[in-house]
Structure 1
Amino acid sequence: MSDVVSATDLGGTMTDFSIMALFMQADIVVKAVMIVLLLASVGCWAIIVEKLRNLRTVTRKADMFEDEFWSGRSLESLYERVRNNPDHPLAMLFVAAMREWQRSVGQTSGLAKTMGLQDRISKVMRVTVTREMERLEGYMNFLATVGSTAPFVGLFGTVWGIMNSFKSIAMSHDTSLAVVAPGIAEALFATALGLVAAIPAVVAYNKISGDIGRYANRLDGFADEFGTLLSRQLDEGAH
């Protein structure tokens, strides 16, 4: 059985309704809509795969780092190991705070200076968390944009295709299905492409946004715990 979907008009002419035929027979505007939606869909899938892979990697590395951090190993030895190659956000946060600590702790004495160091370390960690989250959230706006606009872009192609179908009716004075079917099929195909681009984008955006939000909470929690640990050490050194 042939894979080509076709129909026969009253004159015996075969009308091809395969996907490639619908694209090739479409108006230039509908073709442009189809190409834009196809490229948007490919771009969305590339971002989805990259984001899921990256989140899985940073989560796994964060698990390993926290196990080592809370194992009782000295902070200085851990810092020496990771400072030259902090390859995930949690390590970046730790290195940034330790760098500020080592830069300032030897020069700090008195309550005012101790409070100033605590404030600087807190600011460094906040800036690091913000920067690392911006990296993780890169291209998420593209998913949101495609998810919200692709159905309307497809709808534009649908409207344009139906307009062409009415023009065909007016020019041929024929309301048979053979006259209007190609234009309607092209229009519906544009709508389908819009949904194909939008649905994965919306689902992935919600899923990945949730994962990124949980990871952000994890970074914030680690920053609070690490800040408390450094503050305790400063208080002990001041006495």
Structure 2
Amino acid sequence: MENSLNANWLTSAASPIHIFNQADRLVQTIILLLLLTSVASWSIIIGRVWAVEVAVQVKKLLTTIGTQDELRTLSDSAEGSITRILGAIEVEWRWSSLNLVREYEQVRERCVSIADMTIALEGRSLAGRTGWLATIASSAPFVGLFGTVWGIMGSFVAIGLSQDTSLAVVAPGIAEALLATAAGLFCAIPALIGYNRLVQALGAVDAEWRTIAGLLELAISRHFGTRTW
């Protein structure tokens, strides 16, 4: 019984599908564009969330850094972005050790500089197309509003042509206008929430990476402080 009621509602004059089918071609195009944009935003959200979840695994490494041998172990066992960050710092560390660089400040400055550049590069790679979510969130309501205005204009045109202000003349244009508004919000709200959450997550990952860089700097300080030249 319930299934039949749902099927009747989907084919009734009040259903979104019926309203879409009866809408102006421009309004239909706008709604389809918004729905496709919503699919694209969800794909960005899911892809970036997965990438961030992988990057967050770096937390388990924070308490294991102490010596050069441990750094080598971390570089071998870690995956993804943290591998490249650790590897870049280790290369400079090894070069300084092999070339007997005596000035710790020189070693520190180079390692910190390399760490900052690598973290920034990996952060941009991890963020990917996250910025598009902000664009979608800010522009989708206005695209839907354009469809709303066009639908209301259609209602006024229908009134002028029929010389009739009855609900039967006005309702179709208003219905398609509101459907365009709903499509814009349907696209914008998840994109906005996803963007804000991803920005927070990316900031947390960046903080974790910089914490590791700080711990590496501490390990280098211990290494050069106890080295006998």
- The structure 1 residue matched to 2:184, chosen from 186, 194, 219, is 194
- Equivalent positions of 1:1-239 (< 5 A) are 1=5, 2-4=8-10, 6=12, 16-60=13-57, 62-66=58-62, 69-70=64-65, 74-75=69-70, 77-78=72-73, 81-82=76-77, 87-111=79-103, 114-237=104-227
Unaligned runs of 5+ in 1: 7-15
The verdict on how the C-alpha distance between 1:192 and 1:227 changes in structure 2, with shifts beyond 3 A counting, is same
TM-score for both structures, normalised by structure 1: 0.84
Deviations 1:135-187 (A, max 9, x none): 12111111111111111111111001000110011011111111111111100
Partner amino acid for 2:126? L
User: C-alpha distance in 2, partners of 1:161/1:125?
Assistant: 55
The separation in 2 between residues aligned to 1:143 and 1:135, in whole angstroms, is: 16
In structure 1, C-alpha distance between the alignment counterparts of 2:102 and 2:228, rounded to whole Å: 7
1:40-84 deviation line (CA, Å, top 9, x unaligned): 111111111112222222212x134335x34878236416624xx
Deviation at 1:103, TM superposition (A): 2.6
1 CA distance for matches of 2:71 and 2:216?
13
Between Structure 1 and Structure 2, which shows a larger proportion of helix residues?
2
Distance (whole Å) between structure 2 residues aligned to residue 53 and residue 152 of structure 1: 30
Identity %: 34
State the number of aligned residues: 223
| CA distance 1:109–1:220, shift in 2 (3 Å) | closer
Alignment partner, residue 13 of structure 1: none
Distance change >3 Å, CA 165–CA 155, structure 1 → 2: same
CA-based RMSD: 2.1
Distance 1:25 1:75 in 2: 68
Flag the 1:80–1:35 CA change in 2: closer, same or farther, 3 A: closer
Q: What is the alpha-carbon distance in structure 2 between the residues aligned to residue 184 and residue 50 of structure 1? A: 37
Cα distance in 2 between the residues matched to 1:156 and 1:80: 53
Amino acid corresponding to residue 63 of structure 1 in structure 2: K
- 3-state DSSP class of the match of 2:42? helix
Q: Say which SS state the counterpart of residue 108 (structure 1) adopts.
A: coil
Q: Which is bigger in relative contact order (C-alpha 8 A, separation at least 6)? A: 2
Matches of 2:14 and 2:135 in 1, distance apart? Answer: 31
Separation (CA, whole Å) in 1 of partners of 2:145 and 2:94: 60
Alignment partners' CA distance in 1, 2:56 and 2:110: 27
